[in-house]
């Protein structure tokens, strides 16, 4: 892009030059002067999601993907490598120089300083939709802490490289491909008395295990295992498998073998038997090939059962007895239940082995540093999607208080959107605990919008295991020749939480981070994608605006001001307080009407935009104390 002499712009798109008039150049070019790096400083009157989006976009176009709303860090995915994460930048931001521009290292540095000085636990909470860069941001936050308070970031890098393929799927955004985490991932770092990391604990919650049987794309570990050189012993020459779907070209996947080599190296770094993992994962791929039919009921196609038994290290007869019984549909349900349960247990086995290697020996203080990555609720379907809708509503209900200045009063209970968020959260939880019939749609309405899900009761039943679910298969595999299979199917094996129990566990973990009165300080890190094409240095206003609304960043900017502590929708505010201006005509637009109502209540001109924010009295007291519900 180049500026013209008259103030317009010339854009090079492909092989074409596009001229932009001076009047329209402001919409695509960064404006002159320093953009506001802290959006909490924006003029509050008329502030809405569009204004906040415009400010974030202008900051991004000035070559800095980072900005803030006080303690909330905003990260716009640049879709390209930026040389701003090396040791020099780590040292620079570790000094906490307030003159430095916003950076993700700021969040780690400020949280670490508060943890060591105030002896208070800290949580770095990663939020955002798909393709927004949460996983990379997780690595940056963890790497900064490993370098400044540990022995370097290499061990953390290897940890994530070993675990990510097991809990992530390959996603595409235009020309970009990346691993999307399909679970809630937490890194808990314990500190010794001198402030050095002495303990590391990774936790995976609410793993989207139904993806292994229902999703069009499966977990990355299955593809890496099937492409491994040792996989030929179990899979033969076959290149088409039901579990691997058809959305990923299996032959072209990791054609150079770099991803597979990286995963194998990281697993060996922690002493995990990569060959055993490949064998079990290939066995699961083959198990997914089994079909059932005929009279009497038989496994199809011919030879498939023997291949599964060989890979899983168990007799074909035991395997057959565990699967058959009842109808072909019931046998298929047992197969899928076993696939989900076995994969779930295998992931947690690897997780336990990783944690055992980084447990540390020194005594940790009661304070800790946590990094928590919450997967996008918009990408999840069915049961898992409903759980994440609950997480989203709970997060927003608490963020209304988290983004407040520390010396200000808390939110009043009558805040309409907070009440809506809490109400939707409770509604979702009731539905999770008492799922309806399979394929019956359920709609959840709350402050974060409306979402419709199909509650798959068969999945919930299968996820719980036992009975006609995974129980018979687990018993059969407890005598497998594979040591890892024996360990995860033994009756004394640690069983990871699943189904509604997993959702409840995840909700409690997130709520403990978001509770305003908790003995921990939460630092939200909101990640955004600039476009849906994966194109570097391009910003789509509709795409960015939708995320600003979903993350409620305008509300966060408004509530950052002391004395402003409630929000209402324009329509609700007008209906509720119409009696303050009884002569107000219905033809007056909502925004203008709400301004008059704020003024009638004795406030100044007020903050009225897409939502109504409480204005201030001349003495500084919020006017909403005048409003009694």
- The pLDDT tens digits for 126-172 are 999 889 999 999 999 999 999 999 988 899 999 999 999 999 998 88
Which H or E run contains 453?
strand 449-455
Distance CA 491, CA 523 (A): 41
Q: Look at residues 311, 263, 267 and name the one whose alpha carbon lies nearest to residue 287.
A: 311
In the predicted structure, residue 468 carries a pLDDT above the cut 50 = no
**Mapping DSSP to helix (H, G, I), strand (E, B) and coil, where does residue 167 land?**
helix
Rounded to 5 degrees, what are φ and ψ at 387?
-60, -40
Weakest-pLDDT range from 16-30, 222-236, 376-390, 501-515: 376-390
Q: Is 592 exposed, middle or buried (0-12, 13-18, 19+ CB in 10 A)?
A: exposed
pLDDT at residue 619 in the model: 40
Q: Look at residues 173, 165, 107 and name the one whose alpha carbon lies nearest to residue 138.
A: 107
Checking DSSP bridges between strand 520-528 and strand 72-76, what pairing results, if any? parallel
In the predicted structure, residue 482 carries a pLDDT above the cut 90 = yes
Q: Residue 406: count other Cβ atoms within 10 Å of its Cβ.
A: 8
Taking the CA atoms of residue 414, residue 418, residue 423 and residue 429 in that order, the dihedral angle to the nearest 10 degrees is -150
Length of the chain: 629
List, for residues 592-610, the tens digit of each pLDDT value: 888 888 888 776 655 677 7
Beta partners for residue 20, in sequence order: 9
Task: Give the pLDDT band of residue 620 (cuts 50, 70, 90).
Answer: very low
Q: Both tokens of residue 250?
A: 């299996």
Distance CA 66, CA 583 (A): 47
pLDDT at residue 92 in the model: 94
The model scores a pTM over 0.95: no
Rounded to 5 degrees, what are φ and ψ at 529?
-100, 140
Residue 63 sits at the vertex; the CA angle it makes with 57 and 69, to the nearest 5 degrees, is 50
Task: Give the pLDDT band of residue 566 (cuts 50, 70, 90).
Answer: low
Weakest-pLDDT range from 92-106, 323-337, 407-421, 481-495: 407-421
Let me know: does 234 contact 282? Beta carbons within 8 Å: yes
In the predicted structure, residue 525 carries a pLDDT above the cut 80 = yes
3-state SS of 208-273 is CCCHHHHCCCCCHHHHHHHHCHHHHHHHCCCCCCHHHCCCCCCCCCCCCCHHHHHHHHHHHHCCCC
Distance CA 595, CA 587 (A): 15
């Amino acid at each position: 892009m180049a500026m013209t002499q008259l103030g317009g712009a010339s854009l090079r798109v492909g092989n074409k030059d596009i001229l932009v008039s001076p009047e329209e150049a402001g919409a695509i070019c960064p404006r002159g002067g320093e953009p506001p790096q802290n959006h909490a400083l924006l003029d509050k009157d008329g502030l809405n999601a569009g204004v906040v989006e415009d400010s974030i976009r202008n900051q991004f176009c000035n070559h800095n993907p980072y900005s803030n709303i006080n303690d909330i860090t905003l990260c716009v995915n640049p879709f390209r490598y930026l040389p701003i994460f090396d040791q020099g930048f780590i040292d620079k931001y570790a000094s906490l120089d307030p003159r430095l521009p916003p950076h993700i290292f700021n969040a780690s540095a400020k949280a670490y300083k508060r943890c060591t000085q105030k002896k208070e636990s800290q949580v770095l909470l990663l939020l955002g939709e798909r393709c927004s860069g949460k996983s990379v941001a997780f690595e940056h936050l963890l790497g900064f802490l490993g370098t400044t308070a540990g022995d370097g970031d290499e061990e953390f890098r290897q940890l994530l490289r070993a675990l990510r393929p097991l809990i992530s799927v390959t996603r595409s955004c235009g020309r970009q491909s990346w691993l999307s985490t399909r679970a809630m991932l937490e890194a808990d770092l314990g500190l010794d008395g001198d402030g050095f990391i002495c303990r590391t604990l990774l936790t995976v919650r609410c793993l989207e295990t139904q993806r292994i049987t229902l999703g069009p794309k499966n977990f990355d570990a299955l593809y890496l295992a099937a492409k491994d050189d040792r996989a030929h012993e179990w899979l033969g020459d076959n290149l088409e498998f039901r579990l691997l779907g058809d959305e990923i070209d299996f032959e072209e996947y990791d054609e150079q073998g770099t991803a597979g080599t990286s995963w194998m190296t990281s697993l060996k770094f922690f002493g995990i038997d990569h060959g055993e993992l490949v064998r079990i994962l290939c066995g699961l791929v083959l198990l997914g090939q089994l079909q059932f039919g005929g009279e009497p009921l038989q496994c199809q196609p011919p030879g498939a059962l023997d291949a599964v038994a060989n890979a899983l290290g168990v007799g074909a007869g035991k395997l057959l007895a565990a699967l058959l019984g009842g109808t072909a549909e019931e046998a298929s349900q047992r197969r899928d239940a076993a696939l989900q349960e076995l994969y779930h247990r295998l992931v947690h086995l690897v997780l336990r082995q990783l944690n055992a290697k980084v447990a540390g020996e020194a005594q940790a203080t009661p304070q800790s540093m946590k990094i928590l990555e919450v997967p996008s609720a918009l990408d999840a379907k069915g049961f898992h999607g409903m759980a994440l809708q609950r997480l989203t509503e709970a997060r927003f209900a608490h963020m209304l208080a988290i983004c407040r200045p520390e010396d200000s009063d808390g939110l009043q209970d009558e805040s309409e959107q907070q009440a809506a968020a809490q109400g939707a959260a409770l509604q979702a939880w009731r539905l999770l605990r008492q799922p309806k019939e399979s394929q019956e749609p359920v709609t959840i309405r709350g402050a974060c919008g409306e979402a419709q899900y199909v509650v798959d009761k068969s999945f919930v039943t299968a996820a719980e295991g036992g009975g006609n679910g995974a129980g018979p298969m687990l018993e059969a595999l407890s005598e497998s020749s594979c040591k890892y299979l024996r360990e995860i199917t033994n009756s004394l094996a640690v069983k990871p939480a699943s189904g509604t129990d997993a959702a409840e566990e995840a909700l409690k973990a997130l709520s403990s981070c978001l509770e305003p009165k908790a003995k921990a300080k939460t630092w939200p890190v909101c990640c955004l994608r600039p476009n849906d094409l994966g194109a570097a240095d391009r910003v789509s206003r509709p795409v960015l605006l939708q995320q600003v609304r979903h993350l409620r960043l305008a509300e966060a900017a408004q509530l950052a001001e002391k004395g402003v502590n409630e929000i209402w929708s324009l329509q609700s505010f007008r209906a509720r307080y119409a009696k303050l201006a009884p002569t107000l005509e219905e033809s007056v637009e909502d925004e203008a009407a709400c301004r008059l109502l704020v003024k009638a209540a004795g406030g100044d001109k007020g903050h009225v935009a897409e939502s109504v924010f409480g204005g201030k009295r001349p003495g500084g007291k919020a006017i909403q104390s005048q409003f009694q519900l």
